[in-house]
Chain A
Amino acid sequence: MTSKDSVDLPVSEPVGETIARVVSISAIDPTDQELGLPPEVLADLRAHFLVEPDELTARRHLGRILAARDELTKTAAVAQPRRRVWATAAVASAISLFGTAGMAAAGVLPEPMQNLAADVVAPIGVDLPRKGPIAAGEPSPGSSTGTGRQTDPSPTTPNPDRAPDLTGPASSGSPSTTTPPVTVPAEPSPTVPDPMSPTPTTSIGGTPEGGDGADSSSAQPGDGAASTGNPGHGNNDGQGNGNAGDKGGGDSDKGEQDKGEQDKGEKDKGEQDKGEKGN
């Protein structure tokens, strides 16, 4: 590869002009000689411009430099705590976020939070474990009508005193968890039990009203009140669930029963007095 191949030189161009042009377009930085000025002139030129500032100018400049340094120090002192607060807040937020996400993924959050987290991330396709009745084979609330969040955890709560499995209708596995509790007292018992019945509390969920025991397990105050007006119902509830309200209903029924016996005794006493007067 010759120089003629690398650089296309016109024949009519003078050599000095070509060198100057090549030097100007080359990647080599021009040296002092290539600048065309003698070194001593360049040195004089540098000495002409590169002079120390006079003392007054130097003092002014140094004063501005130190003032700028002080201002910068103050600004940094103010900005540092702010930065630290923001950094702390960011770290705390990240820890809480990832911690909550990890606990939700592990399913160790409390039940409401776990279900809430599962509901929040369900639309984006993340399936988190749930707690409560939905975990026992219930359809996911995200795929249902949306009432699944109003769950009543009591049906899955093991209660040895209750016998919902024996009654059939109340424990047949129907989604009773979504049944509003207001339906419970709206079914008054048409039959008024005989207060003198010897065994008013022997059947455990034996009556059809005994199916309401599942509803009464939700400890609604209305259950106790309803059972007050329905002795048979109240007795069943009171004995089956041990609910305080139901117990109160049972006691009140018993009290009424005792009152009836007392009235009967007084009536008999009145008749005896009549007989004595007659005698």
Chain B
Amino acid sequence: MTIGSTFASVLALAQEGDDHALTVLYKDVAPLVMGYLRSNRVENVEDVAGDVFVSMVTSIGGFGGGEDQFHSWLLTITHRRMIDDRRRRTRRREDTVAPVDLDRDGESGRDVAAVMDAGVTAVNRLDVGDVLAAMDHLTPEQREVVMLRVLADLPIRDIAAIVARPETAVRALLRRGVAAIHRNLTSSDSDVAS
């Protein structure tokens, strides 16, 4: 899902309003935008994604950079539209993170290595459904960071810019999110074994 070496020319044409260039850009980034929204449990993914693409068209004239920068730039727009959508909703979703999980994720990350070591055998037998189930226990902030890292393969610096947090905070969120996934996978595996 990359345009590659022709990205610069496509971007230049899109900035001039060329239909074909805009279509090429849309087809390139639509899976990423909608996947990020879907992975963060946005209810009306299509509408929010449409807002993202409208913002992309209105702001693309001032963008300059390569394809990776374009993805980061577009995910920044996507993240902000997602936050706007969350704020618009009067009924907020209840997070299903147990207090004991928050305690275990806290402080110095003491449980991270143990959980990861214990979950090695379980992870080796994983499928995507198990991972998705394990991700249900993540906080929204952890989910955002993990999905930006997994789906868009962005570096910490870009993720920090997208979610408007310090890099250290992003690093901590990513570490705790991954630890929570491993812990949930291990617990589900032990539940199945028992």
Contacts and interface: CB of A to CB of B under 8 A. Distances in A.
Do these two chains interact?
yes
Contact of B178 (A25, A35, A46): A35
B32 A20 contact: no
B53 A41 contact: no
A66 B56 CA distance: 11
B150 A42 contact: yes
Given A19-B113, A49-B147, A38 B124 contact: yes
B181 interface: yes
A20 B109 contact: yes
A19 B27 CA distance: 41
A50 B1 contact: yes
A61 interface: yes
Interface string A24-42: 1100011000011110011
A69 to B, nearest CB: 5
Contacts of A30: 149, 156, 174-175, 178
A60 B46 contact: yes
Given A20-B112, A36-B116, A52 B123 contact: no
Interface stretch (B4-12, B77-85, B92-100, B126-134): B126-134
Contacts of B171: 24-25
B22 interface: yes
A41 B17 contact: no
B131 A65 contact: no
Contacts of B165: none
B136 to A, nearest CB: 14
Contacts of A72: 17, 57-58
Interface residues of B, number: 53
B168 interface: yes
Given A49-B35, A50-B31, A69-B57, A16 B113 contact: yes
A64 B54 contact: yes
B172 to A, nearest CB: 7
A20 B26 contact: no
Interface string B14-54: 00010100110011001110111011000000100110011
B155 interface: yes
A25 B126 CA distance: 28
B38 A65 contact: no
Nearest to B147: A49
A17 interface: yes
B174 A14 contact: no
Contacts of A57: 46
A20 B49 CA distance: 36
A15 to B, nearest CB: 8
B117 interface: yes
- Interface hub of A52, A64, A69 (most chain B Cβ within 10 A): A69
Interface in B119-166: 119, 123-124, 126-128, 131-132, 147, 149-151, 155-156
B53 A65 contact: yes
Given A20-B175, A37-B123, A41-B123, A49 B50 contact: no
Contacts of A25: 168, 171
B150 A21 contact: no
Given A50-B31, A50-B32, A53-B31, A61 B49 contact: yes
B3 interface: no
Nearest to A16: B113
5 contacts: A37-B131, A50-B32, A52-B31, A60-B46, A65-B54
Interface of B: 1, 17, 19, 22-23, 26-27, 30-32, 34-36, 38-39, 46, 49-50, 53-54, 56-58, 108-110, 112-114, 116-117, 119, 123-124, 126-128, 131-132, 147, 149-151, 155-156, 168, 171-172, 174-175, 178, 181-182
Instruction: Give the 6 A-B CB pairs with smallest separation, nearest first.
Output: A49-B35, A16-B113, A44-B128, A24-B175, A17-B113, A68-B57
Given A17-B113, A60-B50, A72-B57, 16 more contacts: A20-B112, A24-B171, A30-B156, A37-B131, A38-B126, A44-B128, A49-B39, A49-B147, A49-B151, A58-B27, A58-B30, A61-B30, A61-B49, A62-B26, A65-B53, A68-B58
